[in-house]
Amino acid sequence: MVIRVTAKQIIFVFPCALRGYHFRRSTVNSQTQYQSAPATMGELMRSQKRDAVRGASMFMAIVLYGAVLIYTGVHNFNLMTRTVAPDQQLFAITALLCLEGAAIFLPLAIHFWLAPGPQRMVGYVLYAANFTIVIMNTVLDAMTNRATIIPDWLRLYATFILPATPIMIGVGIAFIFLLDPSKKIHDARAAAQAASMDAMAIHMREAANRPDINEAIQAAAIKDMQEATVRVTGAKIPRLPAPEAAKPMLSAKHTGRVLKMGSDRKTAAKLVKTKRRK
């Protein structure tokens, strides 16, 4: 096989290949220079300055977030104390912990725990719902304290939804645990165990039709019946003949064997050899 290459193709291909070679070489050289270039004192100082600013910003964000929770917690506590009896004001603190604790737990869970997908989506939805409840509680408590006219929709919320808000948060957290990826491993193990139990039940039903199993059960039943008769009558009864199900087993193939009963109820019937008479 002969491959023909014209001069025009060589003139077109060679510059392209040369440009690609120079591009790869320049990229490798720039990466090598970037990796081998030592960090200067100015770069280290700028990096430390950025880390310090980042740390201060995070600290301020935590302080501000805590101040928001304290502010909303006061309003939530005022509302929750109105939903319980005067002698049960302590239980209003549990509702406060559900709402304010969810505002702390959910951001940490979304950042460090919740897996991408349905679990994280439920976390986002629950976080938004929790802050919506907190905002509505704050507005409702402020309007109540100022003795202003409360709108009908907010009055409806205070009557039917406000007492159940801690339960809503608990249901959302339960869904987060149910959607955890580790549950898939548990479900797979449970499915394998259930399949093995079903297979065992099928084999047991098939084994119940075997002649030797039926003979052993019938022999045990005969022995129990004999013992019950002796206890009732007090007289020994003669040995009962072998069951009809066992007679086909005593064919020419089993000549020289007899059915021997066990000494107790737990011992099954056995086929043992006997000495042949000469």
Is the pLDDT confidence value at 243 over 80? no
Alpha helices in the chain (DSSP H): 7-36, 41-82, 91-112, 118-145, 152-156, 165-178, 182-207, 211-233
Q: 131-188: per-residue pLDDT in tens? A: 999 999 999 988 888 877 888 888 899 888 888 888 999 999 999 999 998 888 888 9
CB-based burial label for 206 (10 Å; 0-12, 13-18, 19+): exposed
Element (H, E) at 273: strand 270-273
Task: Give percent above pLDDT 70 in the chain.
Answer: 69
Please tell me the predicted confidence (pLDDT) of residue 240.
56
Please tell me the predicted confidence (pLDDT) of residue 244.
53
The residue type of 151 is: P
* 2-11, 216-225, 241-250: range with highest mean pLDDT: 216-225
Please tell me the predicted confidence (pLDDT) of residue 11.
42
Do residues 71 and 133 make contact, with C-beta atoms less than 8 angstroms apart? no
Tokens of 78: 């005022």
Task: Give percent above pLDDT 90 in the chain.
Answer: 27
Q: 5-27: per-residue pLDDT in tens? A: 454 444 444 444 444 444 444 54
Is the pLDDT confidence value at 211 over 80? yes
Confidence of residue 245 (pLDDT cuts 50, 70, 90): very low
Nearest 5°: the CA angle 78, 90, 107 is 65
Do residues 105 and 117 make contact, with C-beta atoms less than 8 angstroms apart? no
Please tell me the predicted confidence (pLDDT) of residue 242.
53
Mean pLDDT of the chain: 76
Q: 35-91: per-residue pLDDT in tens? A: 445 567 767 777 777 888 888 889 999 999 999 999 998 888 888 888 888 888 788
Please tell me the predicted confidence (pLDDT) of residue 4.
53
Half-sphere exposure of 276 (CA within 13 A, CB side): 4
